[in-house]
Structure 1
Amino acid sequence: VFKSDYQNATFEVKSGNEATIIPAFLKDSIRLIVSSRMLTHKEDTLFRRKGIAPKTSRFAIDGIALITQADNIDSNITVTEVISILNGTSTSGKALVFDNPGSSTLRYFMTLAKVDKLPSNGVYTLKNNNDVIKYVVENKNYIGVVGVNWLLANNAGMNSLLSKVKMMGVKNEVGKPGADNFYQPIQKNLIHGTYPLLRNVYIINCEPKDGLGTGFANWVMSQRGQLIVLRSGLGPHKMMPREFNLKNPN
């Protein structure tokens, strides 16, 4: 959509996991990234020593969905149980399956459980989100972990498999938002903050001076950009007011 608004703009889009994109960003191979985390103090300092002040803007709220087989009777899980799987103390027989070892999704869950190392059983990583869905379809008691943004994308060739899985309801720990019920990562729950497994999505711009990256960041934060985020099914950074023209019928 940005390209259609600014037809003379030329840029290259590179995709990858956090473990590959962040290092390239720090080496100036990439000037702007979309990330589910902010720069660390060390990373920020690295840019500032070069005379570059990173500009970080949150533009969307994403959720991390837990996926199970569509015919699974047990379609709810608590954050406490998820943490127990991650730290190796679970006795439920359930297991978590992630897209790849370098993904931001896995980092999010390790931070949630406050673990630096994964248990030898109960947590597994594959190559990509497609593999996660296939694995869950073929293996009972395995819970797939994928971003809501990926589920909402047009995943050609995956529709038949996606019809065989469903999103689980998640209940938060006592005293936290979403602790009163089991919530699915639908847009309403992302916006209101009742779905427990939320993450912010940031644009981080490290151009030495204002350029195409700055223009794109401003566009995403504009009313048009935020409406596109809303229509995509994610939670926008801010809800834009809607204006109506009311005409007198007489």
Structure 2
Amino acid sequence: MTMKKLVLLPLIFGLLAFLWSCNNRQPKENQTIVSGQLQVLVDETLSPIMEEQVAVFEHLYKRTDVALSVGQENQIVSKLVNTDVEVVVLTRQLNEDEMKFFEARQFRPRVHKFATDAIALIVNKNSPDSVVHVDDIIRVMRGKQPAGHVNRLVFDNPNSSTVRFLKELAGVDSLPDKGVYAMKSNADVLKYVYETPQTMGVLGISWIVRPDSTLQMYADGVKVLGVRNQAGKPGSDGFYKPSQSNLAEGHYPLSRSVYIVNAEPRKSLGMGFAAFLTGVTGQRIILKSGLMPDSLPPRELIIRSK
């Protein structure tokens, strides 16, 4: 019996070592900065451009699987600090209270700006209005009557980043009882403005520039307003539309930065995806989307002599 044990023990240890190495090697092969699975929660106002980014990323890196889901800003931040998700795309940075959740775990998320977005104000194509003053938007947000023809402001969701942005702009803590309405999504805003005159919609510019085939008719039936800022602020000398040049020069009043927040405690696919968004290919996709890339991709000119 003793001899049998002496013979079997090396075999057993060898088998256990083999199984252990297989189990530990598999995650390393699957979870790298260019392979594995990743869940990304993104602000719904940015979903058209992020869907395109994910499609190109997965095409270039065949061993990646990025599950993109959309949500409202409050929901996204809540899931991030509760570690329900580790990578998110937001139109603001985390505040001090939110950072405390990570500092308690002795960890700081990696935050990368990769674009400048614009909040677009849209009206029905037949509306007589083509421009709006920021002061009029503030009046509506404070429950007062604006100067123009539009008397209803329509948001995608009461907890969205666009609501938070305009509440901060107007200096209010809550939405007024009249003049402001909330739908369920940016697509709903687009459809509602298309069907309802005297309504001003608030949504991310990529929903106008890059609508999918189901929304193209609605995008064609609305127009984007030029916006004039308050006196003494950039963009107060005229009415500016959310074009890339106006975003680059800081003229458009309703612009905001876009960030990817990576709270993975390890070097994994989230780091690779962030590098892609801030790299040349990701920035070219941003450039084509109507948003302003954080760094302009280089252009190569080939000059031939005759």
Give TM class, smaller chain: over 0.9
Q: Secondary structure at the match of 2:129?
A: coil
1:91: Cα distance to partner? 4.5
Partner of 1:52: 107
1:113 corresponds to which of 158, 164, 170: 170
Note if 1:211 corresponds to 2:268. yes
Q: Secondary structure at the match of 2:127?
A: coil
Q: Verify the 8 A CA contact 1:65 1:168 in the aligned structure 2.
A: yes
Partner of 1:82: 137
Partner of 2:287: 230
Q: Verify the 8 A CA contact 1:86 1:119 in the aligned structure 2.
A: yes
Partner of 1:62: 117
Partner of 1:173: 230
**C-alpha root-mean-square deviation of aligned residues, in Å?**
1.4
Partner of 2:69: 14
Larger Rg: 2
CA shift digits 1:95-137 (9 cap, x unpaired): 2100111111111110111100111111111111222122222
1:153: Cα distance to partner? 2.7
1:247: Cα distance to partner? 2.9
Partner of 1:32: 87
Equivalent-residue separation in structure 2 for 1:24 and 1:64 (angstroms): 24
The runs of 5 or more residues in structure 2 that have no matched partner are 1-55
Partner of 2:188: 131
1:36: Cα distance to partner? 0.4
Q: Verify the 8 A CA contact 2:226 2:240 in the aligned structure 1.
A: yes
CA shift digits 1:135-194 (9 cap, x unpaired): 222322210001002222332322222222100110011111111111111222122221
Partner of 2:60: 5
Counterpart amino acid of 1:221?
Answer: T
Equivalent-residue separation in structure 1 for 2:274 and 2:191 (angstroms): 35
1:51: Cα distance to partner? 2.4
Count of matched residue positions in the alignment of Structure 1 and Structure 2? 249
1:244: Cα distance to partner? 2.1
Q: Which moved more, 1:218-227 or 1:34-43?
A: 218-227
Q: Secondary structure at the match of 2:65?
A: coil
1:225: Cα distance to partner? 1.6
Equivalent-residue separation in structure 2 for 1:232 and 1:143 (angstroms): 23
TM-score under structure 1 length normalisation = 0.94
Partner of 1:145: 202
| Identical-pair percentage | 39
Counterpart amino acid of 1:217?
Answer: A
Q: Verify the 8 A CA contact 2:136 2:146 in the aligned structure 1.
A: no
Partner of 2:152: 95
Equivalent-residue separation in structure 2 for 1:79 and 1:215 (angstroms): 39
Q: Secondary structure at the match of 1:80?
A: helix
TM-score under structure 2 length normalisation = 0.78
Instruction: Write 1 or 2 for the structure with the bigger share of helix.
Output: 2
Partner of 1:246: 303
Which runs of 4 or more aligned residues in structure 1 lie more than 6 Å from their structure 2 counterparts after TM superposition? none
Q: Secondary structure at the match of 1:12?
A: strand
Higher relative contact order (CA 8 A, sep 6+): 1
The runs of 5 or more residues in structure 1 that have no matched partner are none
